[in-house]
Every structure is written in C-alpha cells, then in structure tokens.
Amino acid sequence: MANPVIPGFHPDPSVCRVGDDYYLVCSSFEYFPGIPVFHSRDLVHWTQIGNALDRPDQLRLTAGTASSGGIYAPTLRHHDGRFWLVVTNVAEGEGNMLFTATDPAGPWSDPVRLPGVEGIDPDLAWDEDGTCWCTVAGVSQVRIDPYTGEALEAPRRLWSGTPGALAPEAPHLYRVGEYWYLLIAEGGTERGHGVSIARGPAPSGPFEPCPANPVLTHRSTDRPVQNTGHADLVQGPDGSWWMVLLGVRPRGGTPGWHVLGRETFLAPVTWADGWPVVGEVSPALPAPPWPLVPGPVESGRDDFDLAELRPYWISVRDRPVERCTTAERTGWLTLRARGDGLDDPDVVFVGRRQQHLTCRVRTRIDPARGRGGLAVRLDEEHHYEIEASEGEVRVLARVGPLRTVVGSRAVPPGPVVLGLRVSDTPPRDARTGPDTLTLGVEEPDGAFTVLGTLDGRYLSTEVAGGFTGRVIGMYASAGTVHFDWFDYEPPALLGDRHAS
C-alpha cells in the first residue's frame, strides 16, 4: 500500500464515517464541477462517486474568478440522517454556503448561504443539545441555524494556534471523551505547514494547547512528503483513529518542485495523556487493522460512449452543454471554442487531474472544423499543449509572459493522434527539474514522433504559485473539434492505482 491514498490535485481533505463507509471531499478551486466526493471501505482505496457541486446554480464561477480562486476547503459531516457540506466560494459576492444530501453521490441541495459567517475554511459541529457550531480560519466561531443559514450571535475569537504562527486555518471541532478538541493548520500551506491541537470543556472553549504542538509537521526535514497539514480526524469501526491530510511530493534539485498539486495522505493516530499522537506520513502506508476492500479500478481510457461525462472530468470555471457534449457525434466528445485557447479564462477545456509522476496520455482528434488539442494546464500563464488544425500540428509553451512555438509539422487531413509522455527525472545536480514532458504525434504504425521536450519545473507550484496541480485534457481554441477517445496510462498500465 502506498501514500498518497488519493494522488494528484486533491487538497484540503475532509472525511466522515457512516457505519462501515467513509466519505471524503476536497477543494476544487476554479474547476467545474466542484468538490469531488470519494467513497472507501478501508480508508486506503478510494473511488470517486460524484461531485457535490455539479449545477451552475450551486457553483458560480465567472471569467473574473482567478485561477486558484473559487472553492476553498470544504468540511463534510454526517448528522441527523443527512450529509452536510460547508464551504467557501471566494469568487466575488459568494462567500460561505452550506449544502445537504441524503446520498453523498448526490444530488446535493441548492446552497444555503451563511451571510453571518465571515472567513474561509468553515467547519460544522453539533453538541449534545443539537446546537450547530461553525468555526472558521482565524480562528473564530459562531452558532448558526444550519437550515436557514442564520447566525445566532456575533462571531467570537477562539484559540489560534502557536503564538506568532502564520495562517491559523482549517479548523475542525470534535467531541472525544470528556473534551472538545480544536484541530487547526498553521504555518502556511508551503514548507512550514503543520497541524496543532487544543482541548477544552465546551465547543466554545476555553482551549488548552497540546504541549507537543505541532502534532504534525515536516518542516525543516528531508522527508519525501512535505507541506503536511490541513488535516481531519476520523475514527474507525474498531475504535482506531486516523488522520487524512494534504502533502506534496517535491522532486528534482533545489528547491524541489511539486507538480501534482497537494495530495491526500493518510496517517495512523494514537492517543496519549488525552492528546493525539500522529504516526509517520510516508510513501509506505501501514495497513489499517481491518480487511482492505479495493474499489473498482477505473479504466484510464474514455471512449465518450456515455451520455454524461464521468465524474473525474473537470473544466475551467464552467461547462455549458452548447460548448461541450457527447450527444452531437456518437462516441465522440465535441468541444466548441470560446475565447482564444489556454491563455483565456473562457477556454473550453475538459481534463483530468494528473495523478502519477510518470504517465502517458493520448487522444485522437478530428480538427476539420477548428483547432484544438491536448494540454497540460496549471493556470492561464503556465501550460504546455500540442495543438492540431487541418494539415498541421504544433507544440506550444506558455510560461509567465512568454509564449512560444516549440515545434511543428504537417499532417494529412483528418483525425490525428496526439501524445504526451511525462517522465520522472531523478536529480543529477541542484538544477535538475522535477520531470520532463514530451509532446508529439503518434504515427499510423504506432511510432511516436517527438515535436517538443520541455522541462516540467515551469508547470509547478513553486514557479507558478497558487494552490492547484496539473490537469491534463482536451481543449478547443477555434471553431469546433471532436475527440474520439482519451487514454491516460500510469506506469504499470493501471495495474497499480497509486504507482508513482
């Protein structure tokens, strides 16, 4: 078994257990649909069962929503027979909102807005009297009516972590035994990230900090997993405790670049003197003390033969049906351009998160009525793509203010197979990048013709900034283009879901 348990751009995990089933959600930022929902029976094998925010009336993201804006840090809880999801949309005019469902696979309700709850990273907890407590980054707290969204009092300040520590955020409140525990992240979501905890007699405190804080951090270490933080606790059916958290896997030389975004990791938790003790967060994961229940292994290939796209497909800010459909041409995905390619916030793009440090991706495109291709996207200013138009294929690179054509070649009219290979690069010296991306064309005989080889560091968070990871997919930059299939192959050809 291996960490991360949910690889790729799946940050800010929040988890709850109902019987023998676990459910987990993550941040989705500027992508639509929003908030992927996962299910597991063992905390190790996770299957995406849907997206909580899959309707435009639930998730408003406009061209003015910046990359790494949008949906921040959901909290998922189960109470009184239903699932509750509270989240911040940092897009202008949105704020905190709450959704409910009886089935976590959906449908989820329309939003209940929380105008009296200010701040990000909201959490929900209910006490024995049924009072609902909403705690946000900062850290502050307010009692709310979760059915109407009304704040029942003015916000009050709580314990905010280690004095002087940067960014106290991601609060989660739990009742464990005789105490209420307040778990937070601090130190910023970069290399200084960590997790601290305090306890008190009531949901509102007063809170006493753990003498061993931070209870988890990898700052100032050479461990392969870094930026560990933004955690949530869950208890197994056997009484054991576990922590889900985000972390990154930097690669290459100095300073190290992570390209997949912040991923979801799992760690065991024990208790000593009334405080949680977090076990090691490493690529090798200790087995939980119950049988493993692997979920179905989804094929990395999609032939677009379903009426609806599979839940792992995401788009930039929206996905209007008139721009993206599988209904127009049977067995093909049709994209109609809006904007001017990947540089434009309005780009028509359908992609999936890169989840492996090494992978191969291919797609067959018919560009007869337009222009489009296969892209690796971090944001509008950081992306590589191989683009086809009638009679020509070219490789493009956008890094900050610079945009260039890396290579091109003529191709016969009609459909063409575009390819991308991502190769993990072992460090050779302090300047070695994290990986290499090779883009080209697959010939009719299966041979791969390389048109461009690019350094992966420029599609990393350390270069681009922000909170997301790479997303690989298809786009239209002019007219109408059709895609026959899309194939994502991890190293072991899907034999190991978490192979790196």
Q: Residues 271-309: pLDDT tens digits?
A: 999 999 999 998 887 777 777 888 777 779 999 999 999
Q: Please identify every residue annotated as catalytic.
A: 12, 169
- Answer whether residue 392 shows pLDDT above 60: yes
Q: Are residues 199 and 135 in the same domain?
A: yes
Helix, strand, coil: what percent of the chain each, to 5? 0, 50, 50
- Answer whether residue 498 shows pLDDT above 50: no
Q: Are residues 346 and 479 in the same domain?
A: yes
> Where residue 455 sits, what CATH number does that domain have?
2.60.120.200
Does residue 4 sit within a domain?
Answer: no
**Position 57, amino acid:** D
Q: What is the pLDDT of residue 340?
A: 87
- What is the rounded CA–CA span in Å between residue 122 and residue 90? 12
Does residue 8 sit within a domain?
Answer: no
Q: Are residues 325 and 414 in the same domain?
A: yes
Q: Are residues 273 and 313 in the same domain?
A: no
Does residue 290 sit within a domain?
Answer: no
- What is the rounded CA–CA span in Å between residue 311 and residue 317? 16
Q: Are residues 264 and 318 in the same domain?
A: no
Q: By CB neighbour count within 10 A (0-12 exposed, 13-18 middle, 19+ buried), where does 220 fall? A: exposed
Question: Is the link from the previous residue into 107 a cis peptide, with omega within 30 of 0?
Answer: yes
Q: Are residues 356 and 403 in the same domain?
A: yes
Q: What is the pLDDT of residue 7?
A: 97
The DSSP annotation for 114-173 comes to -TT--SSS-EEEE-TT--EEEEETTTEEEEE-TTT--B-S--EE---SSTT-S--EEEEE
Q: Are residues 321 and 440 in the same domain?
A: yes
Q: What is the pLDDT of residue 500?
A: 45
Domain boundary residue, one of 243, 278, 313: 278
The total of structural domains in the chain comes to 2
What domain range includes position 184? 14-278
Q: Are residues 194 and 45 in the same domain?
A: yes
Mean pLDDT on 34-47: 96
Domain boundary residue, one of 278, 311, 335: 278
Does residue 5 sit within a domain?
Answer: no
> Where residue 102 sits, what CATH number does that domain have?
2.115.10.20
**Position 42, amino acid:** D
Q: Are residues 357 and 402 in the same domain?
A: yes
pTM for this one? 0.96
Q: Are residues 167 and 315 in the same domain?
A: no
Domain boundary residue, one of 245, 278, 311: 278
Q: Are residues 394 and 461 in the same domain?
A: yes
Does residue 188 sit within a domain?
Answer: yes
> H or E element: which one contains 464?
helix 461-464
pLDDT in tens, 186-241: 999 999 999 999 999 999 999 999 999 999 999 999 999 999 999 999 999 999 99
List, in sequence order, every residue forming a beta bridge with 2; answer none if it has no partner: 284
Between the alpha carbon of residue 117 and those of residues 137, 139, 142, 395, 457, the distances in Å are 11, 12, 7, 47, 39
Q: What is the pLDDT of residue 493?
A: 53
Tokens at 35, concatenated? 């908030």
**Position 207, amino acid:** F
Does residue 451 sit within a domain?
Answer: yes
Does residue 288 sit within a domain?
Answer: no
What whole-number percentage of the chain has pLDDT above 90?
90
Q: By CB neighbour count within 10 A (0-12 exposed, 13-18 middle, 19+ buried), where does 475 fall? A: buried
Does residue 376 sit within a domain?
Answer: yes
Q: Are residues 336 and 448 in the same domain?
A: yes
